[in-house]
Amino acid sequence: MGLEIYLDLLSQPCRSVYIFAKKNNIQFDYKKISLFDGEQYSEEFGKISLIRKVPAIKDGDFCLAESVAILTYLAEKFNTPDHWYPADLQKRALVNEYLSWQHSAIRIHGSKILWLKLMIPKAMGMEVPKEKMDLAIENLEDALKVFEEKFLQDRPFIIGDQISLADLVAIVEIIQPVAAGLDVFENRPKLKAWKDRVKEAIGAELFDEAHKSIWSCQEYVETVDPKKFEPFKPKIVKYFL
Model pLDDT for residues 175-203, shown as the tens digit of each residue: 999 999 999 999 999 999 999 999 999 99
Confidence band for 122, pLDDT divided at 50, 70 and 90: confident
Average pLDDT, the chain: 94
Using alpha carbons, select from 222, 228, 161, 218 the residue that is nearest to residue 194: 161
Q: How far apart are CA 69 and CA 76, in angstroms?
A: 11
Q: Which helix (H) or strand (E) holds 95?
A: helix 89-101
Q: What is the pLDDT of residue 1?
A: 67
Query: Looking at the predicted structure, is the pLDDT value of residue 15 above 90?
Result: yes
Q: Which of 46-55, 97-106, 183-192, 211-220 has the lowest mean pLDDT?
A: 211-220
Look at residue 37 in the predicted model and tell me its pLDDT: 87
Contact by Cβ (8 Å): 23, 16:
no
Residue 85 buriedness (CB in 10 A; 0-12 / 13-18 / 19+)? buried
Contacts of residue 237, defined as CB under 8 A and 6 or more positions apart, other chains included, come to 126
Residue percentage of the chain with pLDDT more than 90: 85
| Least confident window among 19-28, 117-126, 226-235 | 226-235
Handedness of CA 84, 174, 124, 221 (dihedral sign): negative
Range scoring the smallest mean pLDDT among 38-42, 66-70, 76-80, 227-231: 227-231
- Per-residue pLDDT band for 47 (boundaries 50, 70, 90) equals very high
What CATH superfamily classification does 3-77 receive?
Glutaredoxin (3.40.30.10)
Domain spans, the chain? 3-77, 89-240
Beta-strand relationship, 29-32 and 3-7: parallel
- Tell me the pTM: 0.95
Confidence label for 211 from pLDDT (cuts 50, 70 and 90) = very high
Res 125: pLDDT: 87
CATH architecture observed for domain 89-240: Up-down Bundle (1.20)
Percentage of the chain beyond pLDDT 70 is 100
Residue 160 DSSP label: B
